[in-house]
């Protein structure tokens, strides 16, 4: 997947000047909230991350502190954190090129979040639409205070590392905006401290839809698993789901998101996995039937995902080694995070620790 036609994230020109040899920094994370990532996570996020790690100083993490803003089974959370990490690595995140860690292993996230909580307005936090949506789903009385302050913890995740860019889906734009507001506010109250980050928003062409309901985005919270392609599913299941994808009653293979959402989704998947432009695929399938496209796509996707699944399983078979890789990442992350936090603590007027800890 090297073709420029598969570029899936909009990167605004940044005004930040770099010293020779220095790279712009990007940071992102995906919650450990399922037993497998799905193809939307893979194409919409992971593929981009992998592409970015050469050009950028990249930091990727697993926001497990965010996961507990809604109830979690402890054993399941631990499992999902490892599974998520294994899929990042199996999908191409290279721990020698970038920094990969688990959020709860870097205590500075929670520490900075507290300081940021104290410069965020209650009304400002109340305007975060994801909170409103998630709280409504649970019943507002059930929603935790952690869920309410979720975006402020996210701002801490970001600001600790002084990144220039935060590659995320459109749904996270408001949270990146909040981080920018908090960075600017802190900087103007206490003096220049934080880099003000830019959102690198995922392009529409990187959005993957549910195979059974192709106007809804592919999501782990889908009503039925039949519309999902999971990275860790066995190839038979994946092939079956692709072959049963909902299409339309016409026969012509062409890209038309409005009139033909099912076929258009299959073409997007084909294009991003093969690296070929949609127009070429459409031309190649002129006069062929939907069934042909589905059979070929099933083979393309399963061939692509098989080595990723196998590598993830290998990593999961040796959890001690995986934990060691993550600990190494957490140590690297802490070097940056602790410097930022020390600066913040000094600026707000906390006494320096004078002991020998
Ligand atoms: P989620 O676990 O749903 O919060 O997704 C984590 C990230 O994966 C999002 O921020 C998006 O970048 C990406 N993502 C999730 N679902 C899709 C999808 N259906 N199509 C493309 N990208 C997606
Ligand atoms: N809230 C993000 C999501 O649900 C995950 C996340 C947490 C994140 N902290 C972050 C993403 C910092 C980017 C940067 O997708």
Tens digit of pLDDT for each residue in 41-65?
Answer: 999 999 999 999 999 999 999 999 9
CA distance 90 to 129: 33
Nearest CA to ligand 1 atom 15: 41
Residue 137: active-site member: no
**pLDDT given at position 50:** 96
The whole model's pTM is what?
0.94
Out of 97, 203, 217, 243, which one is annotated catalytic? 217
Helix (H) or strand (E) holding 251: none
User: Is 236 a residue of the active site?
Assistant: no
- Predicted local distance difference test score (pLDDT) of residue 1: 44
Inter-residue contact 61 to 198 (CB < 8 Å): no
Whole-angstrom Cα distance, residue 253 to residue 239? 19
- The predicted structure's pLDDT at residue 14: 60
Show contacts of 131-134: CB within 8 Å, 24+ apart.
Answer: 134/70
d(C-alpha 210, C-alpha 218), whole Å: 4
The pLDDT of residue 128 is 92
Looking at residue 16, its pLDDT comes to: 67
Ligand 1 site residues, Cβ closer than 6 angstroms: 30-31, 33, 40-41, 43-45, 168-169, 172, 202, 206-208, 217-219
Distance 343 CA to ligand 1 centre (A): 33
Beta bridge partners of 209: 217
Residue with tokens 């593929």: 47
* 3-state secondary structure labels for all residues of 235-246: HHHHHHHHHCCC
Distance CA 338, CA 319 (A): 27
Is 230 near ligand 2, meaning CB less than 6 Å away? no
Question: 68-78 burial string, b = 16+ CB within 10 Å, else e?
Answer: ebbeeeeeeee
pLDDT for position 2: 38
Q: In a mutational test of the pocket of ligand 2, which residue from 29, 70, 174 has the highest number of ligand atoms less than 8 Å from its CB? A: 29
- Looking at residue 4, what is its pLDDT? 38
Token pair of 4 as six digits: 């420029």
Name which residue sits closest to atom 16 of ligand 1, judged by CA: 40
- Ligand 2 pocket mutation pick from 63, 108, 156, 167 by most atoms within 8 angstroms of CB: 63
* Residue whose tokens read 């992971």: 46
pLDDT under 50: residue ranges of the chain: 1-5
CA 222–ligand 1 middle distance (angstroms): 13
Q: Is 134 a catalytic residue?
A: yes
In terms of Cα–Cα distance, which of 236, 247, 214 is closest to 298? 236
Ligand 1 atom showing the smallest separation from residue 41 Cα: 8
User: Which ligand minimizes its atom distance to the CA of 130?
Assistant: 2
C-alpha 233/C-alpha 39 separation (Å) is: 11
Q: Which residue has the tokens 């959370």?
A: 77
Q: Is the CB of 172 under 6 A from ligand 2?
A: yes
pLDDT tens, position by position, 115-137 = 999 999 999 999 998 888 888 88
Quote the ligand 1 centre to 85 CA distance (angstroms): 16
């Amino acid at each position: 997947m090297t073709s420029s036609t598969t570029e899936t994230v909009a990167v605004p020109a940044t005004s930040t000047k770099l010293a020779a040899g220095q790279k712009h920094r990007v940071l992102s994370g995906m919650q450990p909230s399922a037993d497998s990532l799905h193809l939307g996570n893979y194409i919409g996020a992971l593929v981009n991350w992998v592409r970015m790690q050469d050009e950028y100083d990249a930091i990727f993490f697993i926001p497990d502190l965010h996961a507990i803003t809604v109830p979690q089974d402890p054993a399941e959370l631990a499992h999902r954190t490892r599974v998520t990490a294994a899929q990042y690595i199996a999908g191409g995140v290279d721990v020698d090129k970038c920094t990969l860690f688990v959020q709860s292993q870097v205590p500075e996230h929670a520490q900075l979040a507290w300081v940021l909580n104290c410069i965020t307005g209650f009304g400002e936090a109340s305007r975060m639409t994801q909170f409103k949506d998630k709280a409504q789903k649970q019943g507002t009385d059930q929603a935790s205070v952690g869920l309410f302050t979720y975006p402020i913890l996210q701002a801490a995740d970001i600001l600790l590392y002084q990144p220039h860019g935060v590659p995320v889906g459109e749904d996270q734009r408001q949270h990146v905006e909040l981080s920018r507001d908090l960075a600017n506010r802190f900087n103007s109250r206490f003096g220049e401290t934080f880099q003000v980050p830019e959102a690198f928003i995922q392009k529409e062409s990187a959005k993957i839809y549910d195979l059974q309901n192709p106007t809804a985005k592919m999501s782990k919270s889908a009503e039925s698993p039949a519309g999902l392609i999971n990275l860790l599913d066995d190839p038979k299941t994946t092939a079956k789901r692709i072959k049963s994808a909902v299409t339309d009653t016409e026969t012509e293979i062409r890209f038309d998101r409005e009139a033909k959402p099912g076929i258009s989704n299959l073409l997007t998947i084909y294009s991003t996995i093969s690296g070929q432009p949609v127009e070429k695929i459409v031309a190649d399938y002129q006069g062929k039937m939907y069934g042909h496209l589905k059979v070929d796509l099933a083979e393309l996707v399963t061939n692509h995902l098989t080595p990723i699944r196998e590598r993830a399983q290998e990593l999961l078979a040796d959890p001690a080694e995986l934990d060691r890789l993550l600990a190494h990442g957490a140590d690297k992350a802490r070097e940056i995070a602790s410097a930022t936090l020390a600066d913040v603590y000094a600026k707000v007027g906390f006494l320096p620790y004078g002991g020998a800890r």
